[in-house]
Amino acid sequence: MTTAALAAALLAAAGPALAAKGSSKSPKRFDGTWSVEVITEKGSCDRAYRYGIVIENGQARYAGGSDFTVSGRVQGSGAVRAIISRGDAAARVVGRLAEGYGNGTWNTDGAGNCSGRWNAERRG
């Protein structure tokens, strides 16, 4: 998986946010600027990177552009589950966001067969 594909994994951390059915918490509470660090613990992917993510109206975007396909959500509870792809590379991301931070894990199949963890911090 390329560095760019890992950046996409960060989008999922804040991915297309939709409220969980029946949840009284709004995913819009996660709106803002986030700094996300991705750490590879297994495989041949780049060791670690930090990326900027912007969430507006519950929707997330990579601050550096939109070269990825992101399919996922942050529920009102903060639960994160998503798949991010670019070309033939894809990452599955799970975790949780809270009011000012978040964390979880990610993994890929195929060429790099990489896995690791991610940490997010609200910046604004």
The SS3 call for residue 90 is strand
Of 13-22, 64-73, 109-118, the poorest mean pLDDT is in: 13-22
Q: Which of residues 26 and 59 earns the better pLDDT score? A: 26
Domains (range + CATH), the chain: 3-122 (2.40.128.120)
What token pair was written down for 82?
A: 């998503």
DSSP 3-state of 13: helix
User: Tens of pLDDT along 87-115?
Assistant: 777 888 899 999 899 999 999 876 678 99
Q: How far apart are CA 87 and CA 105, in angstroms?
A: 21
